[in-house]
Structure 1
Amino acid sequence: MMMVKKNDLLNRWRENVFFLSLVSMACVFPFSEALVSIFSGILLFQALALRSWFHPSFSDRSWKILLFPVSVYVLYLFGTLFTKDFTFALYELKKTVFWLVIPLAVFLSPKLPEKKLYFVLWVFVGSVTAASLIIAGRLV
C-alpha cells in the first residue's frame, strides 16, 4: 500500500515538473534563443533526472516517432561534409541541436492531461502576442 502511494506521488511529481518546464519554455520561446537553449536543456534534464520513462504513460509510445527529428539532424550532420567553412558548419550543428533535444525530452517525459496541454498552448500564444506587441511598440 505504501509503495503504491509512493509511486503515485513520484508519477505526479514527474508530470508537474515536466509541466512547469514546458510552461517555462513556452514563455521564453519567442523572446530569446539562449533561453530556449537553456530551457530545452532543463526539459531534457528533468526527463533524465526523474527517470520519466518509468511513468505509466510512457509504455504506449513507439520509438519510431523519434526517427523524423533525428533524420533532420543527420541531414545537418551530413551537410557538414560538403561545406568549405567548417566553423560555420559546427555553429549550425550547435544551433540545430534542438531537433534532437526537445523531441527526446518530450518523448521521455510523461503524457500530460489535455487541460494542461491547452494551458501550455495558451501560454505560448500569450508570449508570442506579447513579443509581437513589444516589437510593434519598438517600431512605432
Structure 2
Amino acid sequence: MSIKYVHTNLIARDWKRLAEFYEQVFGCKPLSARDLSGRWLDGVTGLDDAHITGMHMSLPGFGEGGPTLELFQYDAMPDHPDVRPNTPGFSHIAFLVDDVAAVAEAVIANGGRAVGELTSQEVPGVGVLTVQYLYDPEGNIVEVQNWDA
C-alpha cells in the first residue's frame, strides 16, 4: 500500500485574510479555490447543510505536487477556544527559516503576535536551535525555527 502525506487543514474565520498572511509571511502560494457543499459533504463532515469556501496553498520548500496548507471556512462555526502550546490536539505548524527574528517581526507586522520569546538553545548531538512560537492573525500557533549545526 502506498501512503503519501497530502495536506494540513486549518479552519479559518476569514480564509482570505489567513491566505494573504501565509503568502506574505511564509511564501505559501495559492493553488486552487474551493466552494464545497452537498449531501456528500454533509456525509463526510457529519454536519447538516455544510458549506465550505477556501483554498489550498503550496508550502515552501516543496515542488509541484507537494503537501499543501488547506484553508477552509464554514458558513457556520462554533467559537474556537484559545490555544496554548500545551492544548491537547494539533498544536502548531513549523517553518524552517534563515532569520527567526526577522520572520517573527513579519508575523507581528502582518497581524500575528508572540506566544513566547525568541530563544536559542544547544541541543546535544543536534546543534543550536533558535526558535519562537507566535500566533497567526486567528490565534493558531506557528513555530519559526533555525538550526545551526
Fold shared by both chains (TM-score > 0.5): no
TM-score scaled by length of structure 2:
0.23
Greater helix fraction, Structure 1 or Structure 2: 1
TM-score scaled by length of structure 1:
0.24
Greater strand fraction, Structure 1 or Structure 2: 2
